[in-house]
Amino acid sequence: MIAEAGHYALVLALTLALVQASVPLLGVRIGDSALMRVSGATAVAQFGFSLLAFGALTTAYVVSDFSVANVFENSHSLKPLVYKITGVWGNHEGSMLLWVLILALFSALVAIFGTNLPLTLQSLVLAVQGWVAAAFYLFILLTSNPFLRLADPPMEGRDLNPVLQDVGLAIHPPMLYLGYVGFSISFSFAIAALIEGRIDSAWARWVRPWTLLAWIFLTLGIAMGSYWAYYELGWGGWWFWDPVENASLMPWLAGTALLHSAVVMEKRNALKVWTVLLAILTFSLSLLGTFLVRSGVLTSVHAFATDPARGVFILVILCAFIGGGLSLYAWRASSLTQGGLFAPISREGALVLNNLFLTTACATVLVGTLYPLALETLTGDKISVGAPFFNLTFGPLFVPLLIAVPFGPLLAWKRGDLVAAAQRLLAAGVVALFVLALVLAWTKGGAVLAPLAIALAVFVIVGALTDLAEKIGLFRLKMPLSAARAVGLPRSTWGTAFAHAGLGVALLGIVCETTWNSERIVSMKPGDIVTVGGYEAKLVGLTQRQGPNYRERVARFSILSDGRIVGELSPSKRSFSARRSATTEAALLTRGVSQVYISLGEESQDGSIDARLYYKPLVLLIWLGAVLMAFGGILSLSDRRLRVGVPKPARGMRPMQPAE
Amino acid sequence: MTRKQRRLVLIGGALGVLAIAAALVLSALRDSIVFFSTPSMVAEKNIQPGQRFRLGGLVQSGSVKRGEKLQVTFVVTDGNRDLPVAFTGILPDLFREGQGVVSEGTLDTAGIFRADTVLAKHDETYMPKEVADALKKQGHWKTEAISSAPATDGAQTVDSKVQ
């Protein structure tokens, strides 16, 4: 009964989405505000029904109703409750349901909090959201219905893929989808602006918080996914330049560019046409990501069994929205008015540079990801493009961008002074050079590239702090005055500094981890000691343990530093009977921001066990940097000027602060 | 500067960056792509020792032998031809005899494939796409055993794992 209710709710949500997609358009066409207002009510109701559908599926999982095919295939009655719930989106059908649920959520948010938007703009935005939602409801109902029943229900389910039975599944996909799908709002705003043929800085002020919100979630989602892969897959890697990972990185790069170009548009009323294009492209890349992941056209280490028929359906959706969006852009973009002038050396110029490098880097990732597909279609050769390609293309493009990052906020709008900015960054440059010399002396003639990259990271971090120090007059003014200025500084300025510093922190972690991580792969017997990165790992013993739906072989290690025990690690290998499969559970010991990492391999007849031991210096900085970036985003989002729904204050009320 | 000059600077800069990116992409594509082969294709194409490629096929039943110090040898087959593979390290959890596998490395002079990576897959019913295609071509595709898997086993999401 509950499954049928869910199915019915989904059909109703589709109907509402169709109404939301068509009626407001008609209203805008004939100028009837009553028809336009339909969009808000339908958006909220549509969200309600998709929530009902999602709730129905979740209930089926929680009560282990194995007469529902989807539950039978992905759940098990003995599974802990949290994995029963996360299992809802741990499969294709359920995760698509989550996708549309979040889409509907965003539409409802625009309907509820967008009351200060001009009515025509709001109803057009919601209409476009309606089209996207309708396409995906159709996709679910026609190709991936999660509510299908089995004729004779089995007694027990086939369990969720063991790799997915982890808290990571509870956080990572929802976060990532909030990011992916959140960009649909920027897309809808862009399409609405093109339909209306009108766009101004107010438009950018409405779009920016939504883009920022999506970007924050996507940043955290990617970071979380990376950390999950790092500890769950047991091979100590945190980024593989895998198609599925690239699929999430591309919208992030484009979204980051969009955030920055929207600033130019909001403040200076320039780059309009470009910002609209970026908004379309960002969501297109999100759709492309969904397609790549769902269709399985690309081989990926993260790929699971996929169904080509669904891939074709998503490809059609993809072509319709990207093609439609870009055609509309080509047709209407010329009607948007030209913006203000600016010199190449200016804040605008710096942001254009940022956009140029981010989009180019994004394009190289796109080429690397799709090239194997193109080559196979054209010549039949099967190839893989791996990490070396991306390191050789993405890396060199990011270096100039990183050098430019500290300069941007120090340049004035319209016309900046590069020499003055360089002078202010002198301190940061000196610190960076000092660090460079220090690292070079410490590594004594090792690789030069790593110390240089570390110096760059330090430059970015100190540069971000310099901007703050300049704006609050630290060391220049008396302490209390500086403190007062710091309090009065717009939150978005703090946000910028945090996000930029986070970039440097992440780079620091990436460089240190890749350059100085040490790895030992050994076969050990109880009592054996292995040294890795200055720590000694002693295998104490092997035990057997019974979990709720698995059995595991646990190895206990003592970690010693200078002969003193600093921690215990218990990596294990779990075998799941329902799927006859195994997972490796790595164990991690955090020391500061570095980690000791152990994962297990096969056990031999003679009682020895294979183990991988890693020492990962400063590895946590990689994710800490991402968290800092997201925190910067949150600060910026909380800025009064951007707060959703707050009318903009009168000009005279603005504090006398340099903008941003 | 006039509007026209500014636009020229902008367009010139953009083209410059794009040109650099294109050069990087082309040079990287020449050096860092890896071709995929099955044992039959290795025999046909006469791949030279030392050239990196990805080898895909099924792990032949009964061929996995573990040696000293984490050394493992196994045979990869596509039904027509076999190729012995040597690997040192820990195999992924889902490495099984009779299952599909993709490994990356080079041939040595004795004709043994020295793999430095054996790819892990998250799903026990998952068959690497290249392997599936190659096996279909060779006529060794067990239709009911494997191709029905995606339909009955529910496609495991990828994004529910690592993106």
Can you tell me the ipTM of this complex?
Answer: 0.76
Interface test with B, best of A66, A71, A385, A393 (most B CBs within 10 A): A393
Give residue-wise pLDDT tens across range A582-605: 888 999 999 999 999 999 988 888
* Contact between B21 and A584 using a beta-carbon 8 Å cutoff: no
pTM: 0.90
Interface test with B, best of A139, A226, A238, A304 (most B CBs within 10 A): A304
pLDDT at residue B58 in the model: 85
- β-pairing verdict for B33-37 and B53-59: parallel
Q: Which residues contact A237 (CB under 8 A, 6 or more apart)?
A: A229, A230
* Contact between B162 and A172 using a beta-carbon 8 Å cutoff: yes
Restricting to B residues 50-79, those with a Cβ less than 8 Å away from any Cβ of A are 54, 66, 69-70
**pLDDT greater than 80 at residue B68:** no
| Average pLDDT of span B29-43 | 84
Give residue-wise pLDDT tens across range A519-528: 998 999 999 9
pLDDT at residue A9 in the model: 97
- Residues from chain B that touch A177, judged by Cβ atoms under 8 A, are 159
| Average pLDDT of span B34-63 | 86
Instruction: Give the number of other CB atoms < 10 A from CB of residue A349.
Output: 25
Give burial (CB, 10 Å; 0-12/13-18/19+) of A264: buried
Restricting to A residues 57-76, those with a Cβ less than 8 Å away from any Cβ of B are 69-70, 73-74
A606/B contact by beta carbon, under 8 A: no
CA A383/CA B28 separation, integer angstroms: 14
A414/B contact by beta carbon, under 8 A: no
| Average pLDDT of span B18-27 | 90
Residue of A nearest to B152 (CA): A73
CA A105/CA A164 separation, integer angstroms: 25
| Average pLDDT of span A297-314 | 63
B108/A contact by beta carbon, under 8 A: no
Give residue-wise pLDDT tens across range A81-122: 999 999 999 888 999 999 999 999 999 999 998 888 899 999
pLDDT at residue A326 in the model: 94
* Contact between A368 and B25 using a beta-carbon 8 Å cutoff: yes
CA A582/CA A551 separation, integer angstroms: 9
- The per-residue pLDDT of chain B, averaged, comes to 75
CA A324/CA A239 separation, integer angstroms: 34
Evaluate the CA torsion angle A537, A543, A546, A549 in order and state its sign: positive
- Residues from chain A that touch B29, judged by Cβ atoms under 8 A, are 371, 385, 389
Q: Which range, of A96-100, A516-520, A608-612, B97-101, averages the lowest pLDDT?
A: B97-101
pLDDT at residue A287 in the model: 92
CA A530/CA B17 separation, integer angstroms: 48
Instruction: Give the number of other CB atoms < 10 A from CB of residue B141.
Output: 16
* Contact between A389 and B32 using a beta-carbon 8 Å cutoff: yes
Task: Give CA A271 to chain center in angstroms.
Answer: 25
Chain A to chain B, count of Cβ pairs less than 8 Å apart? 219
* Contact between B25 and A367 using a beta-carbon 8 Å cutoff: yes
- Residues from chain B that touch A393, judged by Cβ atoms under 8 A, are 21, 24-25, 28
Residue A1 C-beta-side C-alpha neighbours within 13 Å: 0
Residue of A nearest to B153 (CA): A73
Nearest by Cα to B158 from A580, A176, A327: A176
Give residue-wise pLDDT tens across range A3-57: 999 999 999 999 999 999 999 999 999 999 999 999 999 999 999 999 999 999 9
Give residue-wise pLDDT tens across range A444-493: 767 788 999 999 999 999 999 999 998 888 888 888 888 888 888 889 99
| Tokens representing residue A330 in the block | 């080509």
**pLDDT greater than 90 at residue A618:** yes
pLDDT at residue A128 in the model: 96
Could you give the percent of chain A with pLDDT greater than 90? Answer: 62
Restricting to B residues 110-139, those with a Cβ less than 8 Å away from any Cβ of A are 119-126, 128-130, 133
- Residues from chain A that touch B157, judged by Cβ atoms under 8 A, are 89-92, 94-95, 173, 293, 304
| Average pLDDT of span B14-43 | 87
**pLDDT greater than 60 at residue B122:** no
**pLDDT greater than 70 at residue B146:** no
- Residues from chain B that touch A404, judged by Cβ atoms under 8 A, are none
CA B155/CA A537 separation, integer angstroms: 40
pLDDT at residue A650 in the model: 41
| Average pLDDT of span A603-631 | 93
Give residue-wise pLDDT tens across range A370-395: 998 888 888 878 888 888 899 999 98
pLDDT at residue A232 in the model: 85
Q: Which residues contact B32 (CB under 8 A, 6 or more apart)?
A: A385, A386, A388, A389, A392
